[in-house]
Homo-oligomer: A and B are copies of this chain.
């Protein structure tokens, strides 16, 4: 038997046929065209999944479940989308709608939770007691896996670490309306903001060369590469970013204390350079300086995490 995994993004719908161990058998993809009525988007989700299935020698009789990762908040119990800001979906009966085309049990969850679950099922956090997955991208996504299951809380609004408060007094304004949300300090966007603010005051840095003098072109990779090259200003910017990220990780430790913390998304491409920097800061922040704390790992699945984790959602 196999499952259908669907990763619904603001830009693309990605689908895959996935075996029970989390291996992809076939994939398909098409644009989301998010401005359309939701039922048209859902029809394309189903059609894309059937397109992936047609690439295999299997039929719908070989499919057990459909799993969907959404860029928003899902009600696992009803199978409805509570909301997806990017898509403008509110209280949308996603599961029922897709069952019009493919009548199988549907499981839905948040996309970062699903990606974290994929790492748990298939790769880096496989078999752990508990793990927290954090994507360091345009924003911050997070997924919590407890006792082998994705944890989204009782009302489905948990595992939104990006909007946990990290700096409540005079914090940076967030798109969610609050000041000082964690993602304003720990996302790739935040690293770029720190770099711009610093270079506006002093551009004697190889970051300035890398962006060809246009601060609007700075990306996370330029800052990380310059820091690796020991550029003094880049090292300072990266160190400030790592301070905030380490405080965010401290929050996860002092609340959940999972066995492992997995970093994904753009900034995580810095790899061991990032992990080593975080591991230098964390022990000094711990309540008991000598205590053990979660191992910090880099995610491995990349772009396929969404479809793999979604496909595994119905796993018992």
Instruction: Using CB atoms and an 8 Å cutoff, list the residues of chain A in contact with chain B.
Output: 73, 82-83, 129-130, 144, 146-147, 151-161, 163-171, 176-178, 180, 185, 243-244, 247-248, 250-259, 284-288, 291-294
Contacts and interface: CB of A to CB of B under 8 A. Distances in A.
A251 B251 contact: yes
B257 A156 contact: yes
A73 B288 contact: yes
A184 to B, nearest CB: 11
A157 B293 contact: yes
Main secondary structure of the interface of A (DSSP, over half): loop
A163 B254 contact: yes
Copies of this subunit = 2
Given A164-B251, A165-B247, A256 B82 contact: no
Nearest to A154: B259
Contacts of A163: 254, 287
A161 B255 CA distance: 6
A152 B288 contact: no
Nearest to A147: B147
B257 A255 contact: no
Contact of A158 (B152, B158, B169, B257): B257
A77 to B, nearest CB: 11
A155 B294 contact: yes
